[in-house]
Amino acid sequence: MTAAAPERTGWADVLAEGRAPRFVLICLGVWLAAADSLVTATIMPAVGASLGGYAWFGWATAGFLLGSVAAGASSGRLAEMFGLRAGVAVTAAIYAAGCALSAAAPDMATFLAGRVLQGLGGGWVAGFSSVAVGLLFPDRTLAKVYAAVTAVWGIASLLGPLFGGVFADAGIWRWAFWSFAIQGLAVGAAAFWMLPKGDGRKAGAGVPVWQLAVIAAAVAAIGLADLAGNAAGALALIGLGMALLVLLVRWDARARVRLLPLASGDLRTAAGAGYATMFLMTVASMGFAIYGPAILQTLHGLSATGAGYVVSAESLAWTIAGLTVTSLAGAWPNRLILAGVVAAALGVALSAPAFVAGGVVSVVLAGAVLGAGFGLCWSFMSQKIMVSLPTEERAIGAAAMTTVRLTGAAAGAALAGVAANLVGFAQGLSEATAKAAGLWVALALLPLGIAAIWPARRLAAASPEPPAPL
């Protein structure tokens, strides 16, 4: 493959040559993940009140993401083995089954089991959607396709809190999951006529089972940290999880069947620097979305719908910023990669005083700065990573972006849970525990947001050309 610098392209080019059905299906797959996360964040206080288990509050997200990580990481190889059409159809049905289990759950343990199954199915669907972008769209269109994916998140940010809030405020939160079960089945059915049979199939591909097991162990270790009960045990489990992730990258580079592109562990390359930046940014951002609704309902008396809409300022700002800059070319993409990462870290920093001493407007502002940071840089980071990869690594490279994002989200959810539970959130919601969680969740995750600036600088300076064949 001969890589070229990003070109200006219009939306007509994105949908040309029979790409429109594939584009629609990608958007539907992204909608499931986006809306699910926003709806669940909105209704979790109602779920916690109904089923108990506030100590496991963060695991409603972390469990979902644990399944998503394992599934999303294998999606590139599975797409090569079975094709995108069959993959999306089967895994959307798995997602629907997980939604049904959560909807019917009599207790928190069953609910969390359903969330893990949702994560598996949803992670595969999201992973296949990412693979489809990398395999089915030309390089010149990638920035716009990724911007469209961002727009889907924006739509979810408007509809998700309303959707979840209506069910939560009416005391029928279970029907939110029944509705997603129906949507999952619809996406699976749509795959049969929106994707050609066997598209993306590649003989001889395998699944990196051992690497997937290491990822699951790492995320589980980080996730269990919020149940350790003391700072020393929590930090030990977090350190173990992070060490396993670092070892995974090194081991994968020498494996026969790789999970990640060969350059993933080299921060001097676009892929290595890009994946590191995405991981750190995602970890840092998770506390706002997970704990924001509960804190706002406790401190400001907002309804589930109102709190959901306040937190959705992050996703809405991401969408607006992403669509605003998507047509910029020349030196702008590299400038915006760095500017976006700095803005995201600033948004995390602003959320601490906003939750503790500020009003609702302050929380909206913090979320908007955080989301705008992601919007300024995310599509350009994704495009630069994909253009840098050789053709034979496109499928696993696209899936790796989903893996990195989901792993970061799972780690961030768990780290936020550790900080919140250590200041009393596990004992229930009160004004004191809500303020403490708002402060310490942000302060615990902020260093990772700041750390993302370093690989972002390397990504902005990295060559867009793919590495030479070995």
CA dihedral 387, 390, 396, 400 (to 10 degrees): -40
Confidence of residue 24 (pLDDT cuts 50, 70, 90): confident
User: Residue 201's pLDDT is what?
Assistant: 54
Q: Per mean pLDDT, which range of 206-210, 262-266, 282-286, 443-447 is the poorest?
A: 206-210
Q: Is the pLDDT of residue 86 over 50?
A: yes
- State pLDDT tens for residues 121-133: 888 888 888 888 8
Dihedral of alpha carbons 15, 17, 18, 22, sign? negative
CB 98 within 8 A of CB 114: yes
Check residue 453 and give its pLDDT.
Answer: 97
Q: Is the pLDDT of residue 199 over 60?
A: no
Res. 200: pLDDT tops 70: no
pLDDT at 350: 96
Tell me if 441 sits within 8 A of 420, measured CB to CB.
yes
User: Please, are residues 79 and 87 in contact by the beta-carbon 8 Å criterion?
Assistant: yes
* pLDDT tens, position by position, 202-229: 555 567 778 888 887 887 787 777 667 6
> At a CB cut-off of 8 Å and minimum separation 6, what does 309 contact?
161, 162, 165
Average pLDDT over residues 432-456: 94
* Bigger pLDDT: 442 vs 21: 442
> Of all residues in the chain, what percent carry a pLDDT higher than 70?
89
Could you report the per-residue pLDDT of 305-316, keeping only the tens digit for each?
788 778 888 888
Q: Distance between CA atoms of 396 and 130, rounded to whole angstroms?
A: 10
What value does the mean pLDDT of the chain take? 83
Question: Which pLDDT score, from 0 to 100, does residue 218 have?
Answer: 86
d(CA 188, CA 180): 12
- What pLDDT is stored for residue 37 in this prediction? 67
Q: Is the pTM of this model over 0.75?
A: yes
2 or 445, which is more confident:
445
Predicted confidence at residue 4, as pLDDT, reads 43
> In sequence order, which residues have a C-beta less than 8 Å from that of residue 329 and are 6 or more positions away?
6, 7, 8
- Answer whether residue 329 shows pLDDT above 50: yes
pLDDT at 160 over 90: no
Residue 340 has pLDDT above 90, yes or no: yes
pLDDT of residue 5: 43
Q: Specify whether the CB–CB gap between 452 and 340 falls below 8 A.
A: no
| Residue 285: C-alpha distances to residues 23, 311, 393, 409 (Å) | 28, 12, 29, 8
Q: What is the pLDDT of residues 389-405, one digit of tens each?
A: 998 888 888 888 878 88
Using CB atoms within 10 Å of the CB of residue 18, give its burial: 0 to 12 exposed, 13 to 18 middle, 19+ buried: exposed
Q: Are 39 and 160 in contact (CB under 8 A)?
A: yes
Res 31 pLDDT > 70: yes
Asked whether the beta carbons of 271 and 397 are under 8 A apart, the reply is yes
Taking each helix axis from N to C end, the angle separating 20-51 and 59-82, rounded to the nearest 10 degrees, works out to 150
* 275-293 tens-digit pLDDT: 999 999 999 999 998 888 8
The sign one gets for the Cα dihedral 345, 347, 353, 355 is negative
Residue partners of 293: CB distance under 8 A and separation at least 6: 41, 42, 44, 45, 304, 307, 308, 310, 311
Residue among 90, 88, 80 at smallest CA distance from 30? 88
Please give the average per-residue pLDDT across 85-97, as a whole number: 90
Q: pLDDT tens digits, residue range 34-80?
A: 777 667 767 777 787 787 766 666 667 667 767 777 787 788 878 87
| Exposed / middle / buried, residue 232 (Cβ in 10 Å: 0-12, 13-18, 19+) | exposed
Q: Determine the pLDDT at residue 6.
A: 45
Dihedral sign, CA of 38, 21, 321, 386? positive
